[in-house]
Amino acid sequence: MATSTVENYIKQIYLLQQNTSGERVSVGKLAAMMGVVPGTATSMVKALADSELVEYEPRAGLRLTRGGEQLALHVLRRHRLVELFLVNVLGLDWSEVHEEAEDLEHAISDKVLNKIDAYLNSPQFDPHGDPIPSARGKVPDMECRSIADCPVGRSFRISRITDQDSKFLQFAERNGLTPGVTIRITDRNSEADAVTIHVSGRRVMLGTSAATKILVEDKAARTR
């Protein structure tokens, strides 16, 4: 029913809402993320509002409706299951699957999706640690903060990388910074804008903006 353009907009709105923790999304931000001119976003948003996928207050911004959120979660489920399948079964690199999934997420039927889900044993997280919404739209919760604001001296488990850029993912992999890995934060220097961590022997230094993209949780936590 929904075109892939609509699915992409809705997914992006969902992701923007996540960052700004629930506030209304601005048309400008949306346009920027979608790589379109602002006027294009405006007219698209009007169409989405007509289909009752978003609530739209001209000049104030927009927010997903319940239906919009469900669609977003369904797209995200397809995207992330596909990513995991490509990595675990077909052996693609985690740095390249995001692009692939960007197209496949619109072409996978529920029938195939369920087979993939079963094949992978109903996983909860994708290769980047992103939560995979369930078929009913439940998102596995994960309480985690970024390396950028973790106390020095403690150990953590990497749970998620929040940047799909393939250069960054390759860098992370080269340095052993992948979900599940245990790291120890050994130093933070706010003047130098950097954090030092230890990961399996190695010492790695990260600038704050890179550190922000790596989320961790307490050593004790989750089964993954």
Helix (H) or strand (E) holding 92: none
CA distance 158 to 184: 10
Instruction: Choose, by CB under 5 A, the member of 130, 177, 213, 216 that binds Mn ion.
Output: 130
In contact, 182 and 155? CB cutoff 8 Å? yes
40 binds, among Mn ion, DNA, a second copy, none (CB under 5 to 8 A by kind): DNA
42 binds, among DNA, Mn ion, a second copy, none (CB under 5 to 8 A by kind): DNA
CB of residue 62 to DNA, shortest distance in Å = 8
Instruction: Choose, by CB under 7 A, the member of 19, 38, 122, 203 that binds DNA.
Output: 38
Going along 27-84, which residue ranges are E strands?
54-57, 61-64
Nearer Cβ to a second copy (32/135)? 135
**Binding string, residues 51-90; x marks residues near Mn ion by CB under 5 A:** --------------------------------x-------
- What distance, in Å, lies between the first and last C-alpha atoms of the chain? 35
Instruction: Choose, by CB under 8 A, the member of 34, 42, 100, 168 that binds a second copy.
Output: 100
CA distance 211 to 169: 13
Biggest CA pair distance of the chain: 56
